[in-house]
Structure 1
Amino acid sequence: MVRRRTAVSIAAAALLLASPALTACGSGPAQPGAAALIGDQKITVSTLQHKVNEVRAAQAASSQADQQSAAGGKLSTQTLSMLVQNTVIERAAADAKVTVSDGEVQQQHAAALQQFSGSEKALDAALLQQYDIVPAGADSFFRTNALVGKLIMSLGFQPGSDGGQTAIVDALSKTADELGVKINPRYGAWDAKKAIIGDATDPWVVTRTPGAAAPAA
């Protein structure tokens, strides 16, 4: 049995409540209303809150009485970390000239669906419970997943392998450094080595479908 959330292990750092300024490595200009800055791209607090509210609404509407956020009480931090990671992944993919077609996204979706005997409802529930992904965000999730897989292969590794996981985190860390990432301290601190907000045992980057076993290294 696969341990739930092995590919998305996130333990956010303690929230810093003292200052509303954005910081990177302890310094950075104040940006009112910003949750994060990635280069010249801004993720606003309102955008982040909208995403968090979507997850909470989906959880409330879930037929599973025990449905809870995979992030526990750190949903805002995890959601922001994913939004930052998505931006970094898009830049890394553009730099590597890696693209994903709509057909490849649908292949990822179909492969995940097979894990749940073709039940979209069961897949939606797994994405929500394991990764805090709402049904409307499923294709975006699979697109990012496909991009990460192709980036790993472009680095000479197989998705799901230990070497591939290390290589993609290193590559994303380098891209994030080049872009410059600043995080509002209320959501935690940017870990440049892991390319994530907070302290995580494993990077959040998903390289397999919900419920699926990892490929052999």
Structure 2
Amino acid sequence: MHRRTALSVSAALLVAAPLLSACSGQARPGTAAVVGGERITTSALQAQVNDVRTAQNRSEHSAELIAAIPQLDRVKLGAMIQSRILDRMAEDAGITLTPKELEEERKAYDQGNGGTEAFEATILQKAAMAPDQIERWVRDQVLFARLNAKYGEGKLSEPASKAASGLGIEVNPRYGAWDAQKVGLGEAQTPWITQVTRPEQPPAGA
């Protein structure tokens, strides 16, 4: 079976220059960040953190998984913001995805990693994604691949700059400051910078 490494969204690939200035003004109560005028609430963020910790606690390697990411709230917030940047980039590029495309891509990841359970364990370890967060992760992978296909590998800095600049990102100082150079929260790691394999897909109609 032919296999390839999944295209992963990397801050280094998204930009080669500053995208926007961090806005860390007075945060609204209950707000972790504001992206494109929409709030990412602290309760929504904590729900994602809790889902990951619950999944980690069910693993036989729970202590190792939890210790590997002590600042999980910052990691998850960074991922949520990055997803919104990708959505805006796709909108600007006229890229749309159908539920069927995403379903097929998810199946390909499952098959390429030894089945659904094995893939969920892998993505939990490598990307800090709980099972109910994988759908968004897969969407990010597909959007990134489509954007690279449209603009060319390594040529996303300009469309990324346009998209991110239009979002006006504000981050609650509790979670750090938005780093325009890295397109991330300070030194927090981006959970979808990962290498997960999936089978090559045959050309349409093959």
Asked if these proteins are the same fold (TM beyond 0.5), I'd say: yes
Partners of 1:9 and 1:154 lie apart in 2 by 17
Summarize deviations over 1:11-66 as a string: whole Å, max 9, x none. Answer: xxxxxxxxxxxxx6465243111100112110011111111011001111124455
Cα 1:179–1:8 change in 2 (3 A) is closer
Which 4+ stretches in 1 moved above 4 angstroms? 7-10, 202-206
Higher RCO structure, 1 or 2 (CA under 8 Å, sep 6+): 2
What secondary structure sits across from 2:28 in the alignment? coil
Structure 1 partner of 2:95:
98
Tell me the TM-score normalized by structure 2: 0.76
Partners of 1:149 and 1:199 lie apart in 2 by 25
State whether residues 35 and 170 of structure 2, in contact with CA within 8 Å, keep that contact through their aligned partners in structure 1. yes
Tell me the TM-score normalized by structure 1: 0.73
Partners of 1:203 and 1:168 lie apart in 2 by 18
Structure 2 partner of 1:15:
none
Matched, 1:146 2:142: yes
Matched, 1:76 2:73: yes
What secondary structure sits across from 1:42 in the alignment? strand
> C-alpha displacement at 1:103, in angstroms?
2.2
What secondary structure sits across from 1:68 in the alignment? helix
Alignment coverage as a number of residue pairs = 184
Write out aligned runs for 1:173-184 (5 A): 173-184=161-172
Cα 1:99–1:26 change in 2 (3 A) is closer
Cα 1:69–1:129 change in 2 (3 A) is farther
What secondary structure sits across from 1:84 in the alignment? helix
Structure 1 partner of 2:118:
122
State whether residues 34 and 45 of structure 1, in contact with CA within 8 Å, keep that contact through their aligned partners in structure 2. yes
> C-alpha displacement at 1:100, in angstroms?
1.3
Q: Pick from 87, 110, 131: which aligns with 2:107?
A: 110
State whether residues 70 and 130 of structure 1, in contact with CA within 8 Å, keep that contact through their aligned partners in structure 2. no
**Runs of 5+ in structure 1 lacking a partner?**
1-6, 11-23, 158-162
Summarize deviations over 1:173-208 as a string: whole Å, max 9, x none. Answer: 4311221111111111111122111137x86655x7
Summarize deviations over 1:46-92 as a string: whole Å, max 9, x none. Answer: 11111101100111112445550486112111100011111111111
Of all paired residues, the percent bearing the same amino acid is 34
Partners of 1:8 and 1:204 lie apart in 2 by 9
